[in-house]
Structure formats: C-alpha cells, structure tokens
Structure 1
C-alpha cells in the first residue's frame, strides 16, 4: 500500500497543499503547531474515516469552513486507485473510490491500511479495555478480513440476546440464540488468538531491543472466565439469572481485552514507569507492522508522529535503526521539529522526500 499523491482542502490550518510522496521515506518537519501532524491526520482518515487526534470530526475542519476534502492517488495491492473523502461540519460524509460511492468504512480499511505511532497511542496500557480491543481487532482484520463478517453476525445476535434479557424472557427463548452466539464467539476468539500467537515472538524481540527484557508477552482475555473449562454455552446457562437481572450479557467478545504481561504474569501497566510504557507500546506497534508485512495482504502506511516528543535520544536512535531496516515496499511518514536527529536515517534511504511546514504552508524541500 502506498499513497502517491494527496491534496488536502480545509483540514485544520493547512493551506490547500497538493503533495507527491516518496514510496519509501517521507519526512515532514517544522516548528510546533505548524500543521505537520495534520498531514498524518489526513493520511489516517484515508484508511479509517476518522481522526486519530479527536473523536469530534468538526475539530478537524478549518475554523472558517463547513467541510474538509481529501483527494488521493494511491496504489493498493498493486492496483492504482483514486480516492476522495469529504466530511461536512454536520457529520455527513461522502466517499468516492474511482468515482463510485463508498458506504462502508471497512472498504477504506481494506484499501488503505494505516499503522500509527503517536503521542496519543502511549496511554494504551492505562486506558480501558475497549482501546486495546480496537488495536487487537485492527491487527486481526488486516491479517484475516473474514473476521469482520463473523464479528458482525456475532454482534447482531448479542444485541438480540440482550433485548430478550431486558424483556425478562425465559431461558427457553434464549437458549437457541446461545448456540449460534457460542459458535460465532469461538470463531472470533480463535482468530484473535491466532493473531496473538503471530505477534508474540516479534513483540518479545522488540521488547528486548527497547527494554532489555524479552520475557514480555501479550495475552488474550476472550471476554469471559472459564476456569473450569466448561465452555461458553455452559457459562451462559449458569449466568442466565444474573444476566436477566442486569439486562445484558456479561460474557461476550465485546468484553475481550489484550493483557500486556511481564515475567511471572505481572501486569506491565502496574510495574513499568511511564517511559518504559512508551517503549513497550513502541515495540507492540512495530510488531503489529511486522505481522502485517509477513501475513497481511499488504503493508500499511506507517505514520510516526513527533518522534522527538516522547522518546529520549538513545531510544529514538534505536527506533530509527529499525525503520532503516524496513522492506523497500514499506512507505513511512515521520514528523519532527528538527532534522538533525534523523539525518542518519535519511542517508540510509535512496528514495526520500522532505516537506517543510510552517503556518499551514507545506513546501517540498529538494
């Protein structure tokens, strides 16, 4: 996957730049609040339909405008495409792929996968399970697209079950739904576990690089406790009365979590310093990138936002050394305030483009 050209209109403070990118390394530099991260934000929207910096779409639109528009020429799985994205201040969204309307964001995710490492990502260990679950499912989806349809069917049945629970339906009315729900839940869990099995050895290797500790792993909590090994269907029957009182299903794939564990199964978030947590998340993101390169249908864009803000100079260099070893078909975008720390990385790439950003103006530097 690579983005060849991108035109940005009315996004934050950017002054309508039209940019042609390197298929390998792109450096975006300039002072703070200049608009560097907004370029990465635009690239992220192409693959996700939303910003990584805010959940309020209106914040992404320039103050004096009613909408923002992105137009990209990209290559996905060896095929050239033109992608247009427009979002109105009222929330209405128009997406066109090769002039044809797109109605599902999953189409964008398949077409233009994006992996990002930014300051917003470093709270992953201390945020709620839903944030870690999203990171997990992003990775699973890009390795095995079929998980989406299974997840959607499972979610639909779960909604039906919860409605019956709220209506105080007898177990005889719910048991038939449970058989379907158990089967689909197990399918989703198997795909999630297979992904964890792929990522763990890579994650351990990267943790050795950044933390000097290889006995680190991720562990999947499926969304229910089955210490007796009785199976999910038995759990549903046992938990039925409590589920009915609560009005929802306690055990489900929507309760799943990704646990980051140190030696002796200690929770990483409880024992690592803030700086160490950032390094662990960096290792996790790089492991996700590597899994997509090895097992996914295509490599994602890799966005690295504000490298100098979160990592000390030693760990910055370790990260840059790893980025210098990426496959030639991996497209990378890095934002920074100063060029000096990343000059060694620039010198190791044959195909590099640099862009200077100041007051929303973007200029390619030859």
Structure 2
C-alpha cells in the first residue's frame, strides 16, 4: 500500500496543500504547531475514517468552514485507485472510491492500512482495555480479513442476549443464543490468539533491543476467566443470574485485553517507568508493522509523528536504524522539528521527499536546500 498523491482541503490550519509523495520515505519538518501532524492526521483518516488526535471531527475542520475534504491517489495491492473523503460539521460523511460511493469504513481499512506511532499512543499500557483491544483487532483484521464478519456476527448475538437479560427473561430464552455465541466467540479468540503468536517473537526481540534483557511478552485475555477449564457454555450457565441482574453479558469478546507481562506474571504497566513504557509501545508498533509485512496482504503506510518529542537520542537512533532497514515496499511518513537527528536516515535513503511546513504552508525542499531551513 502506498499513497502517491494527496490533496487536503480545509483541514485545521493547513493551506490546502496538494502533495506528491515518495514511495519510500517522506519527512515533514518545521516549527511546532506548523501543521505537520495535520498531514499525518489526514493520511490516517484515509485508512480509518477518523482522526488519531481527537474524537470530535469538528476539530479537524478549518475554522469558519463547513467541511473538510481529502482526495488521494493510492496504490493498493498493485492496483491504482482514486479515493475521496468528505466530512461535514453535522457528521455526514461521503466516501468515494474510483467515483463509486463507499458505505463501510472497513472498505477504507482494507484498501489503505495505516499504522501510526505518535505521542497519543504512548499511554496504551495505562489506558483501559478498549484501546489495547482496538489495536489488537486492527492487527488481526489486516492479517485475516475474515475476522470482521465473525466479529460482527458475535456482537449481533451479544446484543440480542443482552436485550433479553435487560428484559429479565428466563434462562431457557437466553440460552437459545449461547451455542452460537460460544462458537463465534471461540473463532474470534482463535484468530486473536494466532495473531498474538505471530507478533510475540518479533515483539520480544524488539523489546530486548530497546529495553535490554527484560523478558516481556504479550498475553491474550479472551474476555472471560476459566480457572477450572469448564468452557464458555458452562460459564454462561454459572453467570446467568448475575448477568440478568446486571443486564449484560459479563464474559464476552468485548472484554478481551492484551496483557503486557514481564517474566510471564508482572504487568509491564505497573513495573516500567514512563520512559520504558514509551519504548515498549514503540517495540509493539514496530512488531505490528513487521507482522503486516510478513503475513498481511500488503504493508501498511507507517506514520511516525514527532519523533523528537518522546524518545531520547539513543533510542531515536535505534528507531531510525530500524526504519532505514525497512523493505523497499514500505512507505514511511515522519514529522520532526529539526532535521539534524534524521540526517543519517536521509543520507541512507535515495528515494525520499522533504517538506518544510510553516504556518500551514507545505513546501517541497531539495536535499541541497536543507541548510537554508536549518540555519
């Protein structure tokens, strides 16, 4: 997957740039609040239908305007496409792929997989399980698209079951849904576990590079505890009265979580310093990227926002070394304030584009012009 061209209209403070990208490395540099992250935000929206910076889509729209529009030329699975995305202040969204309307965000996700490492991501360990589960399911979906249909069926049945529980229905009425729910829940869990099995060796290796000899692995909590190995059907029978009292199903795939464990038992979020947690999330995101490259149908666009903000110089250099060794089909977008730390990466890559961003104006810069902007 790669984005060849992008036109951004009425996004935050950007002055409606129209950009042509390198298929390998693209770097946006300039002062804080210049609009660099807004370019990455636009790329992220292409693959997700939402921002990584805010849950309020109105914040993305330039002040005193009614909507924002993105138009991109992308290459997905070796096929060229034209993709348009428009969102109004009232929330109405129009997506067109090759001039045909798109009604499902999953179509965007499949067409334009996007992975991001940004300051907003570094709290993943200490956030609630929903954020980790979302990141898990993003990875599972891009390795095995069939998980979406199974996941949707499971959630539909869960909704039926929960509706009956709220109505205080008897067990005979509720249990009608349990056999299907158990089978589908186990399918989702198997796909999630298979993904964890793929990512763990890569994640452990990267953790050792960034964090030394700490033994850190990912453990999947399926969404229920089965201490006595009685199975999910029996758990539903045992928990029925409490489920009915609460009005929802306690044990479900919607409660799943990724546990980051040190030595198999200690929660990484409880034992690692803030700085170490950032390094762990960096390792996790890079491991997800590697799994996509190895097992996915196409490599995702990789966005790295504000590289100098969260990592010290030594770990920045480690990260840049890893980025320099990415395969030729991996497209990367990086934002930074200063280019100096990135010069080894710049010198290593022949196929790159540099963009200076200031006051929302984006200008492509040749390599031999760098010193003018860095002065």
Give TM-score scaled by structure 2 length: 0.97
Per the TM alignment, residue 174 of structure 1 is displaced from its structure 2 partner at its CA by 1.4
Cα 1:264–1:257 change in 2 (3 A) is closer
CA distance in 2 between counterparts of 1:88 and 1:176 reads: 43
- Structure 1: which 4+ aligned runs deviate by more than 6 Å? none
- 2:17 maps to what in 1? 17
Per the TM alignment, residue 91 of structure 1 is displaced from its structure 2 partner at its CA by 0.5
- From the superposition, tell whether residues 155 and 264 of structure 1 become closer, same or farther in structure 2 (CA, over 3 Å): closer
* Alpha carbons 2:207, 2:214 under 8 Å: kept: yes
8 Å contact kept, 1:86–1:95:
yes
What is the number of residues matched between the two proteins?
366
1:146 — aligned with what? 146
Tell me if 1:354 matches 2:350: no
The residue aligned with 1:72 is 72
Partner of 1:291: 291
**TM-score (norm: length of structure 1):** 0.99
Shift of 1:350: 1.3
Deviation at 1:213, TM superposition (A): 2.6
Q: Is contact 1:205–1:214 with CA below 8 Å preserved after alignment?
A: no
- Aligned to 2:12, the other structure's residue is in SS state coil
Offset, 1:264: 4.4
Question: Match of 2:196, SS?
Answer: helix
2:111 paired with 1:118? no
What CA deviation, in whole Å up to 9, does each residue of 1:217-266 have, x standing for no partner?
00000000001111000000010011011110000000000000011410
Return the alpha-carbon distance in structure 2 between the equivalents of residues 197 and 300 of structure 1: 20
| Aligned equivalent of 1:4 | 4
Aligned residue number for residue 222 of structure 2:
222
| Distance of 1:323 and 1:74 partners within structure 2 | 22
Is the CA contact (8 Å cut-off) linking 2:217 and 2:264 kept in structure 1?
no
Aligned match of 1:209: 209
**CA–CA distance in structure 1, aligned partners of residues 250 and 68 of structure 2:** 41
Whole-angstrom CA distance in 2 between matches of 1:214 and 1:200: 14
User: What residue is the counterpart of 1:164 in the other structure?
Assistant: 164
Q: Secondary structure at the match of 1:205?
A: helix
Q: CA deviation at 1:214?
A: 4.8
For the aligned residues, what is the CA RMSD?
Answer: 0.5
Q: Give 5+ residue unaligned stretches, structure 2.
A: 367-375
The CA distance in 1 between the partners of 2:131 and 2:264, in whole Å, is 24
- Between the aligned partners of 1:181 and 1:223, the Cα distance in structure 2 is 13
Find the counterpart in structure 2 of residue 33 from structure 1: 33
Aligned counterparts of 2:56 and 2:178: Cα–Cα separation in 1: 37
Answer with 259-268 or 215-224: which moved more: 259-268
Conservation of the 8 A alpha-carbon contact between 1:66 and 1:89? yes
Distance in 1 between the 2:48 and 2:227 partners?
A: 37
How many Å separate the matches in 1 of 2:63 and 2:262?
Answer: 46
- Residue aligning to 2:50: 50
In structure 2, distance between residues paired with 1:26 and 1:180: 47
